[in-house]
Amino acid sequence: MKPDFRTGDQDSEDEYLLTHAPTLKIVSRPEIIQNISGKVRLEVLWRQVGTEGPNTQIMNGRTDLIFIRENGKWRLNDAITNTTPDETQYTIPEFEKTIGVMHLNHADAAYK
């Protein structure tokens, strides 16, 4: 999976990121770590591999996702990348109030 860098620096005319974007790979099956009241917290472990010339850079990471059930369907609501050890133990309501959480489905975060 390649990140979409079009949302980055819109003024850049440098095509470097489009051709040299790091590759993200999910390294294990996503795991449900909490399931309460129509909300599910999913842990996704990933690896980023980037190359520049002869150098290869590898970074392991974790993204936690909150899905909510609405009208019989699951919808991605929140995400946080590289949670701290304390945050891994948070309940879903605590997680949603954490600094660094991306609220993906709120009116102020919607694309216009």
Would residue 12 count as lying in a domain?
no
pLDDT tens-digit map of 53-82: 788 888 888 888 889 998 889 998 888 877
Would residue 80 count as lying in a domain?
yes
E strand or H helix at 112 = none
Would residue 85 count as lying in a domain?
yes
Would residue 21 count as lying in a domain?
no
Would residue 100 count as lying in a domain?
yes
pLDDT by residue, tens only, the chain of 112 residues: 444 444 444 445 556 666 666 677 899 999 999 998 889 999 999 888 877 778 888 888 888 888 999 888 999 888 887 777 777 778 888 877 777 777 776 544 433 2
DSSP symbols for 7-72:
GS-TT----HHHHSPPEEEE-S--EEEEEETTEEEEEEEEEEEEEETTEEEEEEEEEEEEEEEETT
What local confidence, expressed as pLDDT, does residue 100 receive? 73
Number of domains in the chain: 1
Would residue 33 count as lying in a domain?
yes
Domain that residue 83 falls in:
27-109
What local confidence, expressed as pLDDT, does residue 25 receive? 87
Residues 39/67, Cβ–Cβ less than 8 Å: yes
Would residue 3 count as lying in a domain?
no
